Structure 1
Amino acid sequence: MSTTPAAEPAEGPGSGSGRRFEPDLRPMTRINLRPIASPMPLGFFTVAIASVMTGCLQLGVLDTPDRRAVALCVLPAFALQLLVSVLAFGARDVIAATLMGTFAGSWLAYALVMGSGASGGPEVLGVYNLAFLCFGALMAAVTRPKRALWLVLVVSLPRWAATALAGLTGTEWLTRTAGGLGILVALVSAYAAFALMLEDMRSEEVLPIGRSGPAHHAVEGDLAVQLRNLERQAGVRRTL
Structure 2
Amino acid sequence: MTRINLRPIASPMPLGFCTVAIASVIVGCFQLGVFEDDARRAVGLVIVPASVLQLLVSWFAFGARDVVAATLMACFSGLWLATSLALVVDPPGALRVLGVLNAVFALFAVVMASVAGRKRALWLVLSTAAPRFAVAALADLTGVAWVGILSGVLGLLLAVIALYTAFALMLEDMRGQEVLPIGRSGPAHHAVEGDLSVQLSNLERQAGVRRTL
User: TM class by shorter-chain length?
Assistant: over 0.9
Match of 1:220 in 2: 193
User: By how many angstroms is 1:31 displaced?
Assistant: 6.1
Q: Which amino acid aligns with 2:111?
A: L
Match of 2:51 in 1: 78
Q: Which amino acid aligns with 1:61?
A: V
User: By how many angstroms is 1:222 displaced?
Assistant: 1.8
Q: Which amino acid aligns with 1:235?
A: G
Structure 1 runs of 4+ aligned residues shifted over 2 Å read 29-34
Map 1:38-187; keep pairs closer than 5 Å.
38-187=11-160
Partners of 2:177 and 2:185 lie apart in 1 by: 15
Equivalenced residue count is: 213
Unaligned runs of 5+ in 1: 1-5, 8-28
- Answer with 1 or 2: which has the greater Rg: 1
Q: Which amino acid aligns with 2:151?
A: A
Partners of 2:152 and 2:105 lie apart in 1 by: 17
Match of 1:207 in 2: 180
Q: TM-score, normalised by structure 2?
A: 0.96
Map 1:11-22; keep pairs closer than 5 Å.
none
**Secondary structure of 1:231 counterpart:** helix
Q: Which amino acid aligns with 1:186?
A: A
1:72-116 deviations in Å (ceiling 9; x for gaps): 100110100000000111111111110000000000000000111
Q: Which amino acid aligns with 1:225?
A: V
Distance 1:127 1:152, change over 3 A: same
Match of 1:19 in 2: none
**Secondary structure of 1:208 counterpart:** coil
Q: Which amino acid aligns with 1:156?
A: A
User: By how many angstroms is 1:62 displaced?
Assistant: 1.1
Q: Percent identity?
A: 62
1:150-172 deviations in Å (ceiling 9; x for gaps): 11111111101100011111111
User: By how many angstroms is 1:227 displaced?
Assistant: 2.0
**Secondary structure of 2:47 counterpart:** helix
1:2-49 deviations in Å (ceiling 9; x for gaps): xxxx76xxxxxxxxxxxxxxxxxxxxx976444x21110000000000
Partners of 2:185 and 2:77 lie apart in 1 by: 27
Q: CA RMSD in A?
A: 1.3
Partners of 2:6 and 2:205 lie apart in 1 by: 19
Q: TM-score, normalised by structure 1?
A: 0.86
Partners of 1:43 and 1:120 lie apart in 2 by: 30
Unaligned runs of 5+ in 2: none
Q: Which amino acid aligns with 1:169?
A: T
Partners of 2:36 and 2:144 lie apart in 1 by: 17
Structure that is richer in helix per residue: 2
Partners of 1:32 and 1:83 lie apart in 2 by: 20
